[in-house]
Structure 1
């Protein structure tokens, strides 16, 4: 009896620990927390942690406390797979990542193969920012869901706006040399040619990802080309340093971008004195007149002193909670089946839908410019005094592009 009681005394804490573990829903956040992409990776991590706190204040997801598990991938596909396996071994069944489509492609393939080998232990991969169109076309997977508009959707919106701007005559393309950068340049050339055949592409440059520290030689080429407009998908330090070099060289052209609002971007724009000359396409802006979104924005800035760069992350986490509630389960397969075709009121305003055919989320798309604010624009960026101004809003139906996805679903 005494031996039994001693054994029971040791077993109780262990059982208690197991019970506590079961009450936690872990989400593995795989993104750069060191190296050239660390600035955007840290912002993403804190954003997801803020969202986890929001959900936990409401009781979590299906009564489970949400925990964000940070995993540094150094923007490297192979390192990402190591971190993904580490997360799965620790009981994580939901992974999220955004920075780098090369990473996203590797993760999607890894998760798909893992789930084939491990029925009953499936894992879902939630993509909040990697926008290579192939991920929801030729390389689509049942286990991958994307909340960001792919680069073709964004370029469709940008070029529709650009085609009605007669001052655009000569365009220079500069992008990062990997799958996403290739997708941006390809879409820009084909769409501009179709919509504004009079526009000349006077430069088309690819450069190494997150390795350039001085963009002065690239800016010199842009100046020499006679470009009046630059189109770039650059993000992170590759955008901030590009604009810094433009400021140093006194280059005054208009910029059409995907990620000008990322860390360091607004500061570089202000230093270059490009007042409402830098445009960004994304799924929301802080200065939209939407009371719930602005309350969230104020709370986030009060805690972390940066703006919400990822409205899509809000949609992702809130839709995960809604799908789990509808499924009455946090089982990845059951959650995935509910997410397919799910309609949702998006963070900024309007309706969004997760298309069942390819797991691409469609939502309103915004084009905005950064510069001096009016009374209607309460939020500035990075203490520059400048803020985002709405230029155009494209409703969800007009953002929908066809897919070539031939998805294999689990039995």
Structure 2
């Protein structure tokens, strides 16, 4: 049986804790085609946990508790993820986190619902940092599930706000991974383009097997043949890196509007061909503080790079740091680690630091936060301060969308726990 791996994160080893660690169980793919995405999450969560522990951990009536991360390699599979959840509940781990697959997230929501009904004295919270299928906080919403990333509809809303004013976008090609998330990206792209740019022609709509394509050249050939001037993709991990690599090698001269084009090898794979052409949407990016004197955003990014100096480790997610901070605050507010009490403390909770603010919408447990659409630049040209992953390329803010403007309606009809 696969073992759980536990890492206590102490930034200051001299701190004396008076109580047992609060364990956070991470179920994610750490092997296979998307291993780099899983490892990127570990780095972000580890640093966020270290920051909480460095200031004394989580204060409860029985003393100060450090946070500890327990990891399980799901290999990006639903069945493996469910095995991981069972192992964690067997060990009475009360908080589970996951994100790099909406299909896995949907299965975990259902499994957590069933576990919590069956074992009410060992209930579990599920915190989602990246699974963005909108159904997870709409028709499949759960009291036990909280999402800390903007959902696919919210991300697409940000991208299409830019496309709305992009006069050069006339023929758009949609390409994505063939599972619930990729299907939703294509669906909402069509809908939002029809509403905001009815003159745009959908030149193609392609779904490909997730994590199985090694050479995207045939897809690039189709895009070129379609006459598209713009590509929209929700691809992530190696599926994005290999797609943009094939585009560069195939001389595809189009604009890319992406969900995740700002990391995991994508900027280096794109190279000069992406300057001014590749856009990404995120809740934050390293150059978000550009032009701000003594920028707190810059300080946050530099602290990450100091902790993880290797260029290949440079993929920072503000939402993951925020998630750990909001969890620690909710536990302290509830004065308990019991799942229902922590969930109630997290509903409606607000987060604010010197450069970012967010709130957890109680109706559906969807985090509402600003979004940035940024465009790829070459650091040597002087337009940006920081590059991504040592590639020489980074991203500059093109459009900032305030939190209130990112919020979309929800169809959630949540059954709340006592």
TM > 0.5 fold call = yes
Is 2:344 the partner of 1:340? Answer: no
Map 1:115-134 onto structure 2 (within 5 A).
115-134=116-135
Deviation at 1:404, TM superposition (A): 0.5
Secondary structure in 2 matching 1:194: helix
1:82 equivalenced with 2:101 (yes/no): no
Partner of 1:388, secondary structure, is strand
The equivalent residue for 2:276 is 276
Judging changes above 3 Å, is the alpha-carbon distance between structure 1 residues 346 and 172 closer, same or farther for their aligned structure 2 residues? farther
Alignment partner of 1:26 is 2:27 = no
Task: Work out the CA distance in 1 between the residues paired with 2:212 and 2:395.
Answer: 28
> Gaps (5+ residues) in structure 1?
1-19
Q: Which residue of 1 aligns with 2:299?
A: 295
Superposition deviation, residue 410 in structure 1: 1.1
User: Partner of 1:129: helix, strand, or coil?
Assistant: coil
SS at match of 1:297: helix
RMSD: 1.5
Change (3 A) 1:347 1:410: farther
How many aligned positions are there? 390
For 1:346 and 1:134, locate their aligned partners in 2 and report how far apart those are by CA, in whole Å.
30
Where 2:194 maps in the other structure, the secondary structure is helix
CA displacement at 1:321 relative to structure 2: 1.1
Contact 2:315-2:389 at 8 Å conserved across structures: no
| 1:274–1:227 Cα change, 3 Å | same
Instruction: Please give the per-residue CA displacement for 1:163-197, whole angstroms capped at 9, x wherever unaligned.
Output: 11111000000000000001100000011011111
With structure 2 as the length reference, what TM-score do the two structures score? 0.90
The Cα of 1:70 is off from its aligned counterpart by: 1.2
Q: 1:367 aligns with which of 344, 360, 373?
A: 373
> Based on CA coordinates, which of the two structures has the bigger radius of gyration?
1
Shift of 1:308: 4.2
Matches within 5 A, 1:29-40: 29-40=26-37
Q: 1:214 to 1:308 in 2, by over 3 A?
A: closer
Q: Which runs of 5+ in 2 are unaligned?
A: 1-16
Q: Distance in 2 between matches of 1:180 and 1:160?
A: 20
Residue 192 (structure 2) aligns with: 191
Residue number in structure 2 paired with 1:326: 333
Instruction: Report if the CA contact (8 A) 2:383-2:396 is conserved.
Output: no
With the length of structure 1 as denominator, give the TM-score of the two structures: 0.92
- Residues 217 and 247 of structure 2 are in contact (CA less than 8 Å); yes or no, is this contact kept in structure 1? yes
SS of alignment partner, residue 58 of structure 2: coil
Deviations 1:212-231 (A, max 9, x none): 11101000000110000000
User: How far has the Cα of 1:330 moved from its partner?
Assistant: 2.1
Q: Which contiguous aligned blocks of 4+ residues in structure 1 show a shift greater than 4 angstroms? A: none
CA distance in 1, matches of 2:266, 2:247: 12
How much has 1:292 moved relative to structure 2? 2.7
